[in-house]
Chains A and B, each alone.
Chain A
Amino acid sequence: MDSSIPKAPEVAEKALRRLLKRKGLADLITQGAFGRTAITNGAGEVIAGDPTGRSGSPQTISIDGTTIGQVWGEHASHLGRLLTALLDLSLENRALATESLDKYREISLLYNVSEKLLEAPDIKDIGALICNEAQRFLRSDSVSVLLLNDETKSLELVQSQGRPYHSRASMEIGEDLVGAVLHSGKGEIVNDVDADPRSIQGDSALRSIICVPLKSKNRAVGVVVVGSESIRHFNAADLQLLNALASQAAAAIEVARLYGALKRTSATPADLVYGLDDRPPLGTLAVLGVQHVFIAFIMLVVPVLIAVEAGLAPSQAASVVSMSLIAMGIVTLLQVRRLGPIGAGYLAPQITSVIYLPPLLMAAKLGGIGLVFGMTALSGIAGLVLSQIIGRLRKLFPPEVCGVVVLMIGLSIIRVALPRFFGIEEGGTATDREALIVGLASLTTMVAVTVVRTGHVRLYATIIGLLVGYAAAVALGVIDGAFFGQVRDLPWFGLPAAPVLDLSLSPVLIVPFLIATVASNVKIVGLITSAQKTNDLNWKRPDMVSIRGGIIADSIGNISSGLLGGVGTSVGAGNIGLAAATGATSRTIGIVAGLMFIVLAFIPKLTGAIALMPGPVMAAGLLYTSCFLVISGLELIVSRLLDSRRTFIVGLSILSGVGLDLMPDAFADAPAWAAAFLGSPLAFATTLAVSLNFVLGLGVSKKARLELRHGTAPDEIFRFFERWGGAWGARPDVIRRAGPAAVEFCEEIWSRDGPAQIAIDLAFDEFRLSIEIGWIAERTDEEAGLERLVGHVQRRYDCRARLSADGSSRLARLNFEH
């Protein structure tokens, strides 16, 4: 493959020397079969025979007219002609052998490359492999792998070795050699770039170039450029070899792309239609904004309910709704960009949240609306503090504990919602049939529209349900006739009624509000993480700066909401879901939605109508929401492996919460300080879950070791993984991948290294499960089998694997994202 021109005389001289050493011939010469004779090389040095036999006229040994040596002595003429013939034969033989050796080398290269390509996990690795092999076999200064980007119609440098063909990361497809190869789909050799009429792009200093296409399905998707800074003679064999390499690589790239696409589609529900920085057209923008507003609408039940519970007049209730809307708008706008420490940087519409409903209701009952506002502002301040320690909170609030909190919030809604659903007056027991019909009509509509999927109509389920509820309430007289009059008298545009702002605080409510704040923030962590995943195809782990920014923005929202006279808000789960499902995550949508929230606050007709929401309709909205809360709570709980310890943490907490709800007076004579914990089922269940998790979690090591002897049944390894996965509350799917990966490794080790003793070390934190498999290798060569296994395990079990060696001890590290 070396394309430098062979220096024929030297090769021929070496062949002559070799020939003269051949046993039969050497013996003949030394035994004097040709008399006293000397053989000299081209330079006149004696290389065989008797140095003193250099006499008379010599016979020249020449190949293709070049003198290789001379034969002296009495039989010089015979021996010379014989040697010439033999040398000719031997050179011919050698040429054939060299050619087949080259072919063999080529076969070996392609064989190895195809094997390695199968294990190269991504396009960059494939690129690196091509560079390595091409450089090794063509002995060139420079190899570049360029791939076509179909969107930008430019060529991007994937990988290079030596001086790249082009110094920038991407280049236009021009009229140069690379462009020509891309268009024709045929490889080309240019041995002298300066003599070629086509230019080569940019600042490349390459003088000789081979360029071949990377072809997939008959279309060139990129090129491999091999070059040299000095003039070289690349030949047809080089081109052929590079072509063979490129065609295998192209197939591997195609597979890697498909695999990447597959991974992406499974990671995000839909391809992004509008990315973070895209600007959808105005019409689309308006529709998307309205959808986000409608999803948020149902949650306005919370401020209305709180206002009603606090005994506010409808006009004041409308003000609470308006102020909450303004707070929602402000935070939604804050969330779309990161301004210093504030904001998540994503489309994360902020809506009034049911999470705050239980403590807000307590506040409304205990101290009226002033306490509601005061505690809301205080929860914002608590949020600011929590934002700084949110990473550590994950330990106190693992998913199953969060699940208990969310489930209990869902369950606690029953107590507020059901009396209104049945139209039962406070202190009474009689069901109001008309109210029940209104509630049922509203709830049934919401559920029916949601379940019967008809495209985007689904998004309007709650709005339609609310309207049906209002209509039924008017028809059945659940709202008195004055409703229309009152709404009619309200202006279309105007400032919201001034709120009653006598803020107050109560120490008894600190714990319930703190729990709600933590729950809200934990929820925000999850939602912003999923917003990150939707937007970042290479998402690896949560971006804590963005999460912290999101919580800070949310906290500022709560502080301003409390000070303005509104209730607490949180990132809307439905909105994040909508963004992922529609593939529209543009920041502009967030800005539009935020502005819409604020504008709505200045439409008194609307806020007034919302404030007059009939009890059964409110109840329908709450029950609808509660279904989602209960289910997401349960999902959180079962998202991790539960061992017996965790079963009791979850079980006891839920039982106690529900129990306290059934027997509210159980702790009637508890001391005042304990009222904060015992006053509400939610606070009680949460406190219990957190403390049980803490107490029962003490002494659970985050590391575990299993030592294995040859022939241990795979079951034992699986059990080890299940046991510790349960103890740590790891995700079942991660454990189900990690166990078999370890088993495969052990089996390979035993088949390689005989009865090696293997130690498996597991370590777990919330982000990662790492496995270290250590053993003493019997064989220290032939690591290829293990490397292959590493590649296979990475691909099959979706983890990062690495192999390291120290003397004869080997360590395989497998990392699973958690």
Chain B
Amino acid sequence: MAGKILICDDEAHIRRLIEQCLEELEDDGVEILTAADGEEAIGRIESHRPDIIILDVMMPKINGFDICEKIKADERLRSAFVMLLTAKGQEYDRLRGERVGADRYMTKPFDPDDLLAVAREVLAARS
């Protein structure tokens, strides 16, 4: 299995957590990238063209919705699978996530096993 996953979250421990959760994919040859804010995320997306982008909604500089909108508006990038992560209970966020074209919407605390399963599925479908 090959592919690239980009984890964008301003909280280092969440990034590390998701990385740890996707560790076994890494052993299978999947490359895991991280970004700590919106700008960095956009830079990485453009240079690395990840297959899966895990986006925290609340991030400094450019928030997750805007990044997602940008990705989905760009011919070259829109094929990326975008997962939005947000705090529980913000119903409005969910609707907004739908509108900006996110492929998947997860609320924190998300189920790590779920996240891994989705990532595996998406990558398997692409290879």
Contacts and interface: CB of A to CB of B under 8 A. Distances in A.
A790 B112 CA distance: 26
Contact of A105 (B27, B104, B111): B111
Given A782-B94, A782-B105, A98 B20 contact: yes
Nearest to A778: B98
Given A751-B95, A779-B98, A781-B104, A107 B20 contact: no
Interface in A82-104: 94, 97-98, 100-101, 104
Contacts of B104: 781
Contacts of B88: 111
A104 B115 CA distance: 12
Interface stretch (B11-19, B43-51, B59-67): B11-19
A108 interface: yes
A540 interface: no
Interface string B72-114: 0000000000000000100000110010000011000111110
B124 interface: no
A14 B105 CA distance: 31
B21 A101 contact: yes
- CB-CB nearest 8 A-B residue pairs: A97-B20, A108-B109, A108-B111, A107-B109, A101-B20, A105-B112, A111-B109, A97-B16
A101 B111 CA distance: 10
Interface of A: 14, 17-18, 94, 97-98, 100-101, 104-105, 107-109, 111-112, 751, 779, 781-782
Interface residues of B, number: 20
B69 interface: no
A94 B111 contact: no
Contacts of A94: 20, 23
A229 to B, nearest CB: 24
A107 to B, nearest CB: 5
B87 to A, nearest CB: 12
A104 B95 contact: no
Contact of A108 (B94, B105, B112): B112
Q: Chain A: interface secondary structure? A: helix
Nearest to A14: B27
Given A18-B26, A751-B95, A112 B16 contact: no
Contacts of A98: 20
A98 B99 CA distance: 35
Given A97-B19, A97-B20, A100-B17, A105 B113 contact: yes
B17 A104 contact: yes
Contacts of A751: 95
A39 to B, nearest CB: 17
B110 A108 contact: yes
Contacts of A782: 94, 105
Given A101-B20, A107-B109, A108-B109, 6 more contacts: A14-B27, A97-B17, A104-B109, A108-B111, A109-B111, A751-B95
Contacts of B27: 14, 17-18
Contacts of B105: 781-782
Nearest to A99: B20
A100 B13 contact: yes
Contacts of B17: 97, 100-101, 104
Nearest to B23: A94
B7 to A, nearest CB: 13
Contacts of A781: 104-105
A107 B113 CA distance: 13
A101 B109 contact: no
B98 A101 contact: no
Contacts of A14: 27
A751 B94 CA distance: 11
Contacts of A97: 16-17, 19-20
Contacts of A107: 109
Contacts of B19: 97
A112 B113 CA distance: 13
30 contacts: A17-B27, A18-B27, A94-B20, A94-B23, A97-B16, A97-B17, A97-B19, A97-B20, A98-B20, A100-B13, A100-B16, A100-B17, A101-B17, A101-B20, A101-B112, A104-B17, A104-B109, A104-B112, A105-B113, A107-B109, A108-B110, A108-B111, A109-B111, A111-B88, A111-B109, A112-B111, A751-B95, A781-B105, A782-B94, A782-B105
Nearest to A17: B27
Contacts of A109: 111
Contacts of A105: 111-113
Contacts of B21: 101
Contacts of A111: 88, 109
Contacts of A779: 98
Residue among B16, B20, B98, B113 with the highest chain A CB neighbour number at 10 A? B20
